[in-house]
């Protein structure tokens, strides 16, 4: 069993901390450390109408920002090899209506990810160490 690195959320603003609290394990031997699995994401489908006879389904995503932050932090610092796979679909959980909006939100969340990763000693950046020299 791996011991996940300890993350320090005190460097974040209150809004950022509220968003990122879900990436920290709250029980077991990893309490206070990066959780070992993705935080839950809830998808709720609502049906909206347009015109006289049409309707479409709109998804509301809750917890997607936290899941994105966890995935990116896990990519950089987790000792679990499966977390080192490229996170190319991590942004699919973000609550955005289109690609540009989703990418803008991901760019903002990447700033939070950088703050969190920088609190971890470089020796514990397991994902970075695994990818080092491959580019």
Secondary structure (3-state) at 44:
strand
In a domain, 88, yes or no: yes
Query: Token digits for 93?
Result: 């959980």
What CA dihedral angle connects 104, 110, 112 and 115, to 10 degrees?
-150
| Domain, as residue range, for 102 | 9-131
In a domain, 46, yes or no: yes
Total Cβ atoms within 10 A of residue 16: 18
Helix 99-117 × helix 64-77 angle, to 10°: 50
Instruction: Tell me which residue has tokens 């899941």.
Output: 67
In a domain, 3, yes or no: no
Rounded CA separation 10/20 (Å): 11
Helix ranges restricted to H, 26-123? 64-77, 99-117
**Phi-psi group of 80: left, alpha or beta (phi > 0 → left; psi -120 to 50 → alpha; rest → beta):** beta
pTM of the entire predicted model: 0.86
In a domain, 37, yes or no: yes
Return per-residue pLDDT of the chain as tens, 135 residues. Answer: 578 899 999 999 999 999 999 999 988 888 889 999 999 998 877 766 666 666 666 667 888 999 999 999 999 999 999 999 999 999 988 988 889 999 999 999 999 999 999 999 999 999 988 888 654
Q: How many domains does the chain have?
A: 1
In a domain, 59, yes or no: yes
In a domain, 34, yes or no: yes
In a domain, 2, yes or no: no
């Amino acid at each position: 069993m791996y011991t996940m690195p300890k993350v320090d959320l005190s460097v974040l603003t209150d809004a950022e901390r509220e968003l990122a609290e879900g990436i920290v394990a709250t029980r077991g031997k990893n309490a206070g450390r990066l959780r070992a699995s993705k935080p839950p994401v809830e998808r709720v489908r609502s049906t909206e109408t347009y015109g006289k006879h049409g309707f479409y389904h709109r998804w509301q995503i809750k917890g997607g920002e936290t899941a994105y932050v966890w995935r990116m932090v896990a990519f950089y610092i987790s000792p679990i090899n499966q977390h080192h796979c490229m996170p190319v679909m991590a942004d699919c959980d973000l609550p955005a209506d289109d690609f540009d909006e989703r990418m803008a939100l991901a760019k903002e969340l990447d700033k939070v990810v950088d703050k969190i990763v920088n609190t971890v000693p470089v020796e514990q950046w397991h994902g970075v160490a695994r990818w080092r020299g491959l580019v």
